[in-house]
Amino acid sequence: MIRGTVQSVLFQNPENGYSVLKLRTEEGELVTVVGTIPMTIVGERLVIAGRWGHHPNHGKWGRHPSHGPQFEAEFLERLMPETKAEIFSFLSSRAVKGIGAKTAEKIVSRFGASSLDVLENEPERLTEIPGITEKKAREMSESFRRQSGIRRLIEFLTAHRLPPELAVRLYRVYGELAQDALRDDPYLLTDPYFHAEFSLVDAFALELDVAANDERRVEAGILFELSYNLSNGHTFIPQPKLCAATAALLNLETELIEEGITRLTEQERLVVDAIAGLQACYLPEFYEAETYITARLLQMAEKELPAPKNLDALVSQIEAEQGISYARLQREAIRKAATQQLLIVTGGPGTGKTTVMSGILSLFDSMKVKTQLAAPTGRAAKRLSEVTEREASTIHRLLEAQFDEATGLMSFFHDEDEPLKIDAMIVDETSMVDLQLMLSLLRALTPNCRLILVGDPDQLPSVGAGNVFSDLIRSGKIATVRLTEIFRQAQESLIVMNAHAVNRGALPDLSRKDKDFFFMRRRTAESLVQTVQELCATRLPKNMGIQPCDIQVLSPTRKGDTGTRALNLALQAVLNPPATGKREKKHGDFSFREGDRVMQIRNNYDILWKRCDGLGAGTGIFNGDIGTIARIDFEAELVTIDFDDRRAEYSFDMLSELEPAYAMTVHKSQGSEYRAVILSAFSGSQLLLTRSVLYTAITRARELFIIVGNEEVIAAMTRNDRQQRRYSGLKLRLEQGEPS
C-alpha cells in the first residue's frame, strides 16, 4: 500500500478510467501508478492498494527507465487535499468548473486549508473575494459537490467492474442516493437510459448476492432480450425464441422464464399477442405503436377526397410553368395526391421522385392546401429543401421533441392534443422512419390531414425497430405509385445506371473512366487508406474542384484496417492535422480537434442550440447530424459545434455522443446526399457486405462515386442479397384490415 499526492496525470482514458499518473509518496519518492483510477486530478491525495508491477524488460519491481518505479493499483481510497499547496494544485487543475489558476490562488489565499470546506458548505463566503458574485459562488459550489458525488460513485462502480461513464447518469437520476438504489435493485441499470451492458449488470447483481433464480433477475433478462432485439429491427419476439434466448442468457430452466413472462404480462410490462400463428411478445410501447398505426392508416387509406373539377388542367398548367412533361406514372402520382388522404410514392434513383414532389407541392398550392415538408434526418431535410426550394424540417424538430433528464424519456410537444396546423404532410426518405417515429408523426396530424410518403424501399431499412415503409407497400392496403421509368438525363449517369444494375443483382460497370463512377483497384489495406487520403486531400480538390467538405468517405464496417475508425484517424491526419493554436481534447482513441468534422451518434433532445445568425434557438441534436468543431474551451470545459445553421455547446462529459465523421458507415449515411462519395470496399462481415449496402452507398452520390478496393468484394456484395428478417406485425395487421 502506498499513500501520496498526485503530481501529474500522464494518461487517462475517459471511457474506462484507466490512468497513468505520477504520485509523490509520503516518503518523498516519485512513483508511476497505473490502473483504473478515473477522474484523477492533480493535487488530490490517494491511498492505493496493489502491487509493484513486473516488467519483462525492467525487472521485478517494474522500474521503468523513464517513469521510475511502477505500481499497479487494485484498490484505492481518495483523500481530499489538506495543505494549502495541495488544495491550490487541486483547484488550479480546473477540477471545479469556473475555477482556474488565478481564482484558485485567490481562494486559497483567503481561506487557506479551509478552502474546500468553504466551497462545499459555505459557498456564500466566496463572495468575500472581489469578482466572485453570488451566482458564480453558487455555481462553483454545485460543481464541486456534484463532482465529489460523481467521483465517489465512480469508485463504487469501478470496484464492481462497471463502466465509470454510468456515474453521470446515475447521479443525475438518484443524486447522493445512487449507491443505495443500486444495492436495493442492481437491475435498475438495465433501463435503456443507462446504456449498461446486461452481462456487467448481471455480474454486479450476483456479486451483491442476488440469487440466480431471483424474480428480478428473470424479469430483467426477459426485458433485456426484448430491448436488445429492438436494435436488430424486431418489434416483437416469438415466445418460444424469447424463452430459449433468455434461458440461455441466464442459464436457467425455460419454466422459470415462462413464469417470468406471465408475471410481466400481469404487470403490464409485456404484451403477448397471437399473430401469424405466433405468440408474439412485445414491449408495451411497441405493441401500442403497431396497433395505433394500423388503425390510423387504414382509416386514412379508406378516405377518398373529391378531386378539383379542373384537376387535369391544373396538372397541365404546372407542366407548362415548370417547362416539363410528366411521364404517365408521374402524372398518376400527382393526380392521386389530389384525391387520396394517404399516398405512397416510391422508386429508385433517376425515376423522378423529386419532380413528383415538386408537382404535388404546386398542385397543393393551387388548391390552397397548407403543406409541410419533412425528413427523418437533418441532412435529408436540408437536401429536400434544396431540391424543392421549400422549407423542410426533420420530423423530430417539427414535432418539437422534448426530453426529461430525470426519466430519460422523450416526448413530443405536438400530438393529438396539440396537432400540427397543416393540411398536408410530405415525408421524404420514409424508408428511414422507424415504428416509434411513425407513431409520433401520425399522432401529430389532424384527422383530415393528407399524408404523402416518398422513398425507396430497396434502401437499407430504418436503424430503429420496424420495417415500416416496406410493410406499408407490401400490405397492398395503401394507394401506391411505383415510379419505374429512368429518365434520359439519368440514363447518362453511371451512378444511376449502376445503382439499378446492383439492385437487379448485376455487377456494376467498373471499367469506364469517362463518367461519374470510377473503380480504383487496391490490393492492400495500406494502399487503400493512402489512396483515400490522397483523393480527399489533393486529387479531387485539385483535379475536379471538389473540396474535402463536399466529399464523404463510406465503409460497410467500423472495424478493421479499412473501417471507419481507421479511416477517420487517417483522414484527420491529412485534412485537419495538429497546428499551433489549434486546441484538441482527447476522448477514447480519438483526439477531437478544432476544425474536425463530427457526427452526433444518438438522439439528444435537450441540447440547446442557437441559430448562427442569432435569429432563433431550440433544443435537440439528433443521431446522424453532422457538424464542425468551432472551438474547444478548456476553462469552461465546453466544445462548440456548428451544425449547418445551428450552434451547440457540448460539455466534455458529452463527447461520448460524438464521433469523427470524415468517414462513416453506409448505414449512417442513409437519407444524405453528397457531391462526391468514396466507398472503401476491402473486407468485412458477410452481414455487412450485402447488395443493399452497396446500393445504398451508390445512391448517396450526386456527382461522383468512387470505389477503392477490389473487385472480389464488389462481386460478393452484389451476389449477397441477404436481408435480415425482422419480426414485425404491421404488414399482417394491415392485411387483416384491423388491429388484432
At residue 303, the 3 state secondary structure works out as coil
Confidence of residue 157 (pLDDT cuts 50, 70, 90): confident
Report the pLDDT value the prediction gives residue 152, as an integer from 0 to 100.
79
Question: Between residues 306 and 631, which one has the greater pLDDT?
Answer: 631
Q: How confident is the model at residue 369 (pLDDT cuts 50, 70, 90)?
A: very high
453 contact partners, CB below 8 Å, separation of at least 6: 342, 343, 344, 345, 427, 430, 469, 472
Q: What is the pLDDT of residue 404?
A: 59
For the segment 40-53, the average pLDDT, to the nearest whole number, is 82
pLDDT of residue 54 exceeding 60, the answer is no
Contact 315, 335 (CB under 8 A): yes
**Mode of pairing for the β-strands spanning 701-709 and 517-521:** parallel
Helices (H) and strands (E) in the chain, counts: 26, 30
Q: What is the largest CA-CA distance in the chain?
A: 96
Task: Give the model's pLDDT for residue 57.
Answer: 40
CA distances from 351 to 37, 345, 478, 486, 619 (A): 58, 11, 21, 5, 36
Give the tens place of pLDDT for each residue, 194-230: 878 899 999 999 999 999 999 999 999 999 999 888 8
Supply the pLDDT for residue 301. 94
**What would the mean pLDDT of 562-586 be, rounded to a whole number?**
94
* Cell numbers at 255, concatenated: 419454466
Per-residue confidence at 101, pLDDT binned at 50, 70, 90? confident
State the Cα–Cα distance between residues 241 and 52, nearest whole angstrom: 49
Q: Please, which pLDDT band fits residue 68 given cuts at 50, 70 and 90? A: low
What number is the average pLDDT over the span 277-288? 94
Question: Cα dist. 627→18, 39, 540, 648 in Å?
Answer: 29, 28, 22, 10
Rounded distance, CA 5 to CA 12, Å? 17
Q: What is the mean pLDDT of residues 242-265?
A: 95
Instruction: Read off the pLDDT of each residue in 533-542 and give the average, rounded to a whole number.
Output: 96
The reported pLDDT for the residue numbered 651 is 85
pLDDT of 90 reads 77
For residue 192, the model assigns a pLDDT of 78
Write the CA distances from 14 to 18, 19, 37, 598, 615, integer angstroms.
Answer: 8, 9, 10, 18, 36
Residues 22/8, Cβ–Cβ less than 8 Å: yes
Angle of CA points 193, 195, 199, to nearest 5°? 130
Q: Can you give the pLDDT at residue 14?
A: 64
Query: What percent of the chain shows pLDDT beyond 70?
Result: 94
Give residue 239's pLDDT: 95
Strand, helix or coil for residue 688: coil
pLDDT, average across residues 517-527: 94
Lowest mean pLDDT among 145-159, 231-245, 253-267, 465-479: 145-159
Beta bridge partners of 664: 554
pLDDT value at residue 408: 55
pLDDT at 55 over 70: no
Region 429-436: mean pLDDT is: 93
Q: Are 375 and 394 in contact (CB under 8 A)?
A: yes
296 grid coordinates = 390510423
Q: What is the pLDDT of residues 354-363, one digit of tens each?
A: 999 999 999 9
Task: Check residue 603 and give its pLDDT.
Answer: 74
Closest Cα to residue 339, out of 365, 370, 363? 363
**Distance (Å, whole) CA 621 – CA 665:** 19
Mean pLDDT of 404-408: 54
- pLDDT tens-digit profile of 488-502? 666 778 998 999 999
Please provide the average confidence, as pLDDT, over all residues in the chain.
88
Nearest 5°: phi and psi at 334? -65, -40
Is 69's pLDDT higher than 70? no
For the entire predicted model, the pTM comes to 0.76
